[in-house]
């Protein structure tokens, strides 16, 4: 069986770590592309030199030329500027939408059948822009939101209780911004609702921490944003596609009426497999959850309207 080909655009913090996870999981051969000469080549070579130790045979190659990305099965886009302390994800919008346009056009020219996974922020707007600029069918494009935010919430719950990270599940929907919606009713530890294990005030502070988790790391790092969890989460999404796992993961997917949302991408629970976003699962939301979700949708919508993409 021929190996799969995965391109990662942007060889910065998130991109290089994504290449590392993809290679160690042997999901395919990896092409790492960046606009800066030498950086993707250097980081790829460094990764290849780790292969004998970690015993992976994925081939990682760095490039500045889109021709080398030809016929990729999955393309992960991390190119763009990250946040600095005090910035919100939406402050990145004008710079990153310009970068995204160049990148998407370069990618679809050589890989017209690829699945696109977007990491660049502000996430939900960038996914929408990638859809418009690429001309790809909407099920082929998804954005990294809930797979990351849910993992953050899971880690906070596991640390609170001192239990295994593997036994905690949590669902975060809505936009990948401060208005995201952690769903406490759907968070469980081995099937036990967290409301039976953690007092309400502590659950509320875990939910608040989840919403601001990206900013917490930006404030600590001072020179950039998080990259370990984001890269691990997007590699997990790539794995779901490449291995047709039918994973149920919250991610920014195209809604055509689900949850009352039409013609835009927003974080919802999705079955992810060989056909990308295969099915959106519509779970029941109570009044507060629905109001918070609608608020998050409106925040993304107004950013998209401001940008006037595709109008």
Q: Which of 6, 27, 75, 99 binds ligand APR (CB under 6 A)?
A: 99
Q: Which of 23, 27, 47, 103 binds ligand APR (CB under 6 A)?
A: 103
Give yes or no for residue 79 binding ligand APR (CB under 6 A): yes
Q: Which residues within the stretch 111-130 sit at the binding site for ligand APR (CB under 6 A)? A: 119-121
Our CB check for ligand APR shows the closer of 153 and 189 to be 153
Provide the minimum distance between the beta carbon of 10 and ligand APR in the complex, in angstroms, as a whole number: 3
Our CB check for ligand APR shows the closer of 93 and 168 to be 93
Give yes or no for residue 44 binding ligand APR (CB under 6 A): no
Give yes or no for residue 232 binding ligand APR (CB under 6 A): no
Give yes or no for residue 210 binding ligand APR (CB under 6 A): no
Residues touching ligand APR, count (CB under 6 A): 28
Our CB check for ligand APR shows the closer of 99 and 309 to be 99
Q: Please give, one letter per residue, the 3-state secondary structure of the chain.
A: CCCCEEEEECCCHHHHHHHHHHHHCCCCEEEEECCCCCHHHHHHHHHHCCHHHHCCCCCEEEECCHHHHCCCCEEEECCCCCCCCCCCHHHHHHHHHHHHHHHHHHHHHHCCCCEEEECCCCHHHHHHHHHHHHCCCHHHEEECCHHHHHHHHHHHHHHHHCCCHHHEEEEEEECCCCCCEEEEEEEEECCEEHHHCCCHHHHHHHHHHHHCHHHHHHHHHCCCCCCHHHHHHHHHHHHHHHCCCCEEEEEEEEEECHHHCEEEEEEEEEEEECCEEEEECCCCCCHHHHHHHHHHHHHHHHHHHHHCCCC
Residue 13 is a catalytic residue = no
Q: Which of 143, 174, 230, 276 binds ligand APR (CB under 6 A)?
A: 230
Provide the minimum distance between the beta carbon of 232 and ligand APR in the complex, in angstroms, as a whole number: 12
Nearest to 229 by CA among 166, 146, 169: 146
Provide the minimum distance between the beta carbon of 13 and ligand APR in the complex, in angstroms, as a whole number: 4
Per CB under 6 A, the segment of 8-16, 185-193, 244-252, 272-280 that binds ligand APR is 8-16
Give yes or no for residue 102 binding ligand APR (CB under 6 A): yes
* Catalytic residue list: 176
- Residues forming contacts to ligand APR in the complex (CB under 6 A) are 9-15, 34-36, 39, 78-80, 82-83, 92, 96, 99, 102-103, 119-121, 224-225, 227, 230
């Amino acid at each position: 069986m021929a190996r799969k080909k995965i391109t990662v655009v942007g060889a910065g913090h998130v991109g290089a770590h994504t290449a590392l996870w993809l290679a160690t999981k042997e999901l395919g051969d990896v092409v790492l592309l960046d606009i800066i000469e030498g950086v993707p080549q250097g980081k790829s070579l460094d990764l290849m030199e780790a292969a004998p130790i970690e015993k992976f045979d994925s081939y990682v190659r760095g490039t500045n030329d889109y021709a080398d990305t030809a016929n990729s099965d999955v393309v992960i886009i991390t190119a763009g500027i990250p946040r600095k302390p005090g910035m919100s994800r939406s402050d990145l919008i004008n710079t990153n939408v310009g970068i995204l346009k160049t990148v998407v056009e370069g990618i679809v020219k050589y890989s017209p059948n690829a699945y696109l996974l977007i990491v660049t922020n502000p996430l939900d707007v960038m996914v929408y822009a990638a859809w418009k600029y690429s001309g790809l069918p909407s099920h082929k494009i998804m954005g990294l939101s809930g797979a990351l935010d849910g993992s953050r919430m899971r880690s906070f719950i596991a640390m609170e209780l001192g239990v295994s990270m593997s036994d905690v599940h949590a669902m975060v929907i809505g936009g990948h911004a401060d208005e995201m919606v952690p769903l406490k009713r759907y968070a469980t530890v081995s099937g036990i609702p967290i409301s039976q294990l953690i007092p309400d005030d502590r659950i509320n502070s875990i939910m608040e921490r989840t919403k601001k988790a990206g900013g917490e790391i930006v404030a600590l790092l001072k020179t950039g944003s998080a990259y370990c969890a984001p890269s691990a989460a997007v590699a997990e999404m790539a794995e779901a596609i490449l291995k047709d796992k039918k994973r149920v993961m919250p991610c920014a997917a195209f809604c055509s009426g689900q949850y009352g949302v039409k013609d835009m991408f927003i974080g919802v629970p999705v079955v992810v497999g060989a056909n990308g976003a295969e099915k959106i699962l519509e779970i029941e939301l109570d009044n507060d959850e629905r109001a918070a979700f609608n608020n998050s949708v409106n925040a993304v919508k107004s950013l998209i309207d401001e940008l006037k993409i595709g109008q």
